[in-house]
Amino acid sequence: MKHTISLDIDELNGTFIRQLKAFFGKKKHGKVTIILEDEADETEYLLQSPANRERLLQSLDNAGKGNFITPDLDQYRKLSADA
């Protein structure tokens, strides 16, 4: 069974650890995974700027309509090899 507990970093203290141990009770084995979220993900970051937001949304709209360019990978490889 998995449980998700969200808290601010300043709430991660001795009391929390004791409560977490009590949650497991007398079980000899338990696993706790801690994932720290300290930054917005890339999409959230890029959407913060109105100009970026507009560009990204327009790109998604274009892609949804099939309006995009597919690169010629063979040509790219040839150009890369020549460089």
Q: What is the pTM of this model?
A: 0.40
Q: What pLDDT, on the 0 to 100 scale, is given for residue 63? A: 92
Which residues neighbour 46 within 8 Å (Cβ) at sequence distance 6 or greater? 52, 53, 56
Helix (H) or strand (E) run with residue 26 in it:
none
- The string of pLDDT tens digits covering residues 41-83 is 788 888 889 999 999 999 999 999 999 888 889 998 988 887 6
Residues 16 and 8 sit within 8 Å (Cβ to Cβ)? no
**Cα distances (Å, whole numbers) of residue 51 to 13, 17, 58, 60:** 41, 44, 11, 14
> Any idea where the domains of the chain sit in the sequence?
9-68
- pLDDT value of position 39: 66
